């Protein structure tokens, strides 16, 4: 994507906001709340510890898989905490955006919000184009039922997760460029072994410390073995939730180069919000249009936009099940 094309994307967002929202509405929508952000994060982590409790209190063939499914959805929620705080939009306080974003978002899933931020901003500038760093997560749909089954099987069996964690370790050691879209871009600079170790220590200190804190809490409240559920879901169900979420937002769109047509909003049921749409991320067209607004403002923004005709052209889908049907056997309306 050329700089001119990227600038035109941003100009379109800004012009559309000015056309559809008054200054007073924009001011209200941009209001952030430390209290509201704290409630949203607490809700996510209460579910995390409920899943641990469920498996610990009555371990069995129903409760442990159920706990893994819940944890996968909540690890996706950790990724969305990282996402929202990278925009400095979840809390009014800069300190809370930084601290919560790292310690209750990025670090528990072995990532780093500060390294994620510039990567993610590139996605907003180049959404849907060949230069979008997330394009590999959304390209290739619709696909066959057999292909989708294989993707889900790799996710749920741990193959996707193991490969992803190896890549993340490579990023932390400085072998691979920080990218989360599935691309492997090796860094060519020559550095000494000492510098490599220093880089790894700097990048892994936070994530590993978070794992130790989580392990200590779980061991104190429950039993040490319960921590294995966190690792298990990070390798399995998290990747399934992440895949479905990514497909829903930017796949099977009418025109992936048009900012009005390359991002979708999804009406989500409560189970779908648990698994694929934490923190109002299903209002994804709204997020791309007004990315600095707090996520809890997106439902209100949605109804304003809908009332003013934005979705006469923009994309809405009812439920993630409909998205998956579209992704498996829908007509491919996106350019190759």
Residue 23: the pLDDT is 94
pLDDT in tens, 233-245: 999 999 999 999 9
Work out the pLDDT band at 178, boundaries 50, 70, 90: confident
Task: Kindly state the average pLDDT of the residues 38-57.
Answer: 98
Provide the 3-class DSSP secondary structure of residue 149: helix
Q: Which pLDDT score is estimated for 332?
A: 43
Say yes or no to pLDDT of 8 above 60. Answer: yes
Question: Measured between alpha carbons, how far is residue 14 from residues 31, 92, 95, 187, 253 in Å?
Answer: 18, 22, 28, 35, 22
User: What does the domain layout of the chain look like in residue ranges?
Assistant: 3-328
The string of pLDDT tens digits covering residues 270-289 is 999 999 999 999 999 999 99
231-242 burial string, b = 16+ CB within 10 Å, else e?
Answer: ebbbbbbbbbbb
Long-range contact pairs involving 294-297 (C-beta distance under 8 Å, separation at least 24) = 294/30, 294/31, 294/32, 294/33, 294/36, 294/37, 294/84, 294/89, 294/90, 295/40, 295/80, 295/84, 295/89, 295/90, 296/33, 296/36, 296/40, 297/29, 297/30, 297/31
- Read off the pLDDT band of 336 (50, 70, 90): very low
Q: Which is higher by pLDDT, 217 or 14?
A: 217
Q: Are 127 and 259 in contact (CB under 8 A)?
A: yes
Q: What is the pLDDT of residues 156-173, one digit of tens each?
A: 999 999 999 999 999 999
pTM: 0.93
Contact 180, 118 (CB under 8 A): no
Write out pLDDT tens, residues 102-148. 999 999 999 999 999 999 999 999 998 888 998 888 888 999 999 99
């Amino acid at each position: 994507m050329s700089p001119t094309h990227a600038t035109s994307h941003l100009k379109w967002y800004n012009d559309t906001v000015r056309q559809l929202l008054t200054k007073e509405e924009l001011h209200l929508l941009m209001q952030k709340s430390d209290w509201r952000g704290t409630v949203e994060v607490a809700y996510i982590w209460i579910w995390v510890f409920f899943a641990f409790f469920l498996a610990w209190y009555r371990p069995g063939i129903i409760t442990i898989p159920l706990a893994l499914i819940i944890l996968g959805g909540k690890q996706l929620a950790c990724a969305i905490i990282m996402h929202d705080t990278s925009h400095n939009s979840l809390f009014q306080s800069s300190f809370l955006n930084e601290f919560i974003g790292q310690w209750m978002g990025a670090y528990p899933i072995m990532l780093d919000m500060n390294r994620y931020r510039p990567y993610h901003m590139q996605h907003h500038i180049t959404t849907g184009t060949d230069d979008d760093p997330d394009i590999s997560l959304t390209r290739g749909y619709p696909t066959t039922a057999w292909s989708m089954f294989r993707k889900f099987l790799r996710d749920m069996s741990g193959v996707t997760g193991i490969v992803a964690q190896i890549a993340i370790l490579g990023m932390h050691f400085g072998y691979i460029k920080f990218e989360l879209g599935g691309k492997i871009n090796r860094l060519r600079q020559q550095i000494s072994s000492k510098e490599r170790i220093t880089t790894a220590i700097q990048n892994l200190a936070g994530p590993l410390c978070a794992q130790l804190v989580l392990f200590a809490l779980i061991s104190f409240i429950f039993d040490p073995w319960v921590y294995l559920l966190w690792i298990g879901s990070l390798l399995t169900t998290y990747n399934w939730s992440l895949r479905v979420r990514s497909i829903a937002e930017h796949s099977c769109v009418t025109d992936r180069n048009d900012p009005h047509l390359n991002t979708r909003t999804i009406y989500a049921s409560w189970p779908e919000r648990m698994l694929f749409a934490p923190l109002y991320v299903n209002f994804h067209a709204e997020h791309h249009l007004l990315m600095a607004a707090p996520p809890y403002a997106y439902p209100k923004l949605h109804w304003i936009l809908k009332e003013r005709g934005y979705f006469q052209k923009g994309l809405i889908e009812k439920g993630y099940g409909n998205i998956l049907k579209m992704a498996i056997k829908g007509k491919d309306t996106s350019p190759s």
